[in-house]
Amino acid sequence: MKYFWILRCLRGSYCSHSYKIKPSIRRLFTSGIAMNNCLGVAPIIKAEPTRGLVDEPVKLEIAHLVPNHQVTLHSQLLSEDDDRWMAYGHYISDSEGIVRVSQDESLGGTYTGQESMGLIWSMKLAPDNRQEMRLRKKNMTAPLTVTVSVYDGWISSNFDKDVVLASAVLERFYMAPGTTRLEFKEGRVVGTLFLPPGPGPFPAILDMWGGGGGLFEYRAALFASKGYAVLALAYTGHKDVPQSKEVFDPKLSYFEEAFVALNNHPKVAKGKVALVGLSLGVTIALLMAAELTNIQPKCVICISGTHLNMIWNGNADVIEDENEALSKVKFTEDGVMIWKYLSFPFTKVSKLIVPVDKIRCPLMIICGEDDQNCPAAESADEIKKMMKAAGNDHLLTTILYPQTGHLIEPPYSPHFRITKFKLHSINKTVRILWGGTTKPHADAQEDSWKKILVYLEKHLVHEHPVVIQSNL
């Protein structure tokens, strides 16, 4: 009788007034989902855990669905820059009316196949949002808040106009409970120091990002959540950092000071400091390991960079003269810049090459074979040749990932193939091709992070066991 009343209302009978019913409501009432709800059994999303670190997988299960029924799972977050990111997958519930995301296949959407974290790593900017931006966390004390929703049927757009059957909120943190964040200023050195809970001393990491400048903390915060003391170092494009000529002097004194300050910190295990660099940070890490005889890093991890000394002339500007650069820069059909060929083929000028043959500590190189920003894979091959000729190639570990681009971020981060990029040297914003294909790139981010943590534990921990902070 209840179903009969609903259907008659939809057709216009048994109503004392004339109402217009939204199409989405009409679909809901006439679907099997509505019949379930009329019986008092509403769909529910079970998430485990609902609060966790960004590198922790989440187990999602949607129950109380109509058996063997098409549904859409949708995720959304609003960034600190007010950009809306979203992903979705098309599923069919099983004979019990359940979708188990870690076991069931998505048959369409922003990802397909059996992907337990597809709703996170396949996120894209919403169609009505500004495009070609990056998702980079700024406030480490607050989580990324992801809303997961389920919809009746397979839909691919206009989610805000459809009826949400159930939803759940996931909180994804870079900082584990008890982790301390401290603004760091010692002499000329500027950065942010993250310390795990406890008295220490802790093995430490000097973390360096690329030439885009500024101070980004999220990777350092995540490392600290694994039990390391980490200094996220600012070295260009920051208001409190000295001018480029002073930072990038031939003696690398700014970077030596940063290493020494971290190594001498009372909560750091002296002599247990690693270097981690991405992009231009790779060049700096390699130079430090090869040229600075007063420091002894325990190991060096290089992500998406080259052995070219790009700071030999005292600045980190990739493009100083736009007209000169245009002769080497390539463009896609859509006018997107490809920077890879700014430095490839490699020069033979010795002062422009980092002498990696002088490195005396373990070195891990991670890069994508589809890096369109710099010749990272080609550089890895050259480094191997140079170190083999010098007899120190036993220190080298190289990991190359197919169909992977330049921006290899912590696991489950969205893939950024093309983004806007500010060139401070010429005060211009350009579009840059970083490379990579979403699914292989996501796999590379997950796999490389695991390998990095194992590598750090092998070379840093030893008598200083790391207390891993995971569940929140």
Give the residue numbers annotated as catalytic, written as ranges. 279, 371, 406
Amino acid at 319: I
Whether the CB-CB separation of 363 and 398 falls below 8 Å is answered with: no
Q: String of b and e for 17-40 (b: at least 16 CB within 10 Å)?
A: eeeeeeeeeebbbebebbebbeee
3-state secondary structure of 282: helix
Helix spans in 362-416 (H): 376-390
Whether the CB-CB separation of 13 and 26 falls below 8 Å is answered with: no
The C-alpha atoms of residue 205 and residue 85 are separated, in whole angstroms, by 31
Q: Token pair for residue 289?
A: 């390991």
The C-alpha atoms of residue 235 and residue 281 are separated, in whole angstroms, by 10
3-state secondary structure of 192: strand
Radius of gyration of the chain (CA): 26
The C-alpha atoms of residue 267 and residue 341 are separated, in whole angstroms, by 43
Count, residues in the chain: 472
In order, the DSSP letters of 335-376 are --EE-GGGS-SPP--GGGB--GGG--S-EEEEEETT-SSS-H
Name the nearest CA neighbour of 228 among 265, 173, 280. 265
Q: Token pair for residue 400?
A: 């190359």
Angle at 451 between CA 376 and CA 416, to 5 degrees: 50
106 DSSP β-pair partners: 113
Name the nearest CA neighbour of 169 among 88, 60, 276. 60
